Amino acid sequence: MPETSGSTGRTPETHVIDFRAAEHLLNSRDPRGAVKLLDRVIAAYPENTAARLLRARAFFAAAQLRPAELEFTIVLEREPDNAFAHFALARTYERQGRPEQAKRHFRLAAALDPNPQYLKAARFDE
């Protein structure tokens, strides 16, 4: 009998399926559906940074900015060199009207990865 996660009867394979389905839902513009699936994955594997990053993206896409901020922050606590997470957190701060915090994370993203999008957002010429 396969090992299950908690009392839900879900297997590790089921959580992988949920993660992949959440990616598909997010790409199909159903961020709330993605969050529901990722909630189960993160409940079973709270240390899973990839699932948290995907859930942060889904919260952002659903305009749930405080939960997005929290998830991006958790990802950055675990992976401080994650340029995408810095960039996405900066966008979250930007949408919340917090430009100084956004600027800091845009610049960190650009310093970690010279991606043209990150460099443009960092506005180093200012």
The token pair at 126 is 């200012």
The pTM of this model reads 0.88
Check residue 8 and give its pLDDT: 54
Q: Residues with Cβ < 8 Å from 66, sequence gap 6 or more?
A: none
Check residue 31 and give its pLDDT: 98
Check residue 12 and give its pLDDT: 83
pLDDT by position in tens, the chain (length 126): 344 444 456 788 999 999 999 999 999 999 999 999 999 999 999 999 999 999 999 999 999 999 999 999 999 999 999 999 999 999 999 999 999 999 999 999 999 999 999 999 999 887
Longest CA–CA span in the chain (Å) reads 61
- Rounded to whole angstroms, how far apart are CA atoms 42 and 117? 30
Q: Residues with Cβ < 8 Å from 53, sequence gap 6 or more?
A: 71, 72, 75, 82, 84, 85
Check residue 4 and give its pLDDT: 43
CB 42 within 8 A of CB 53: no
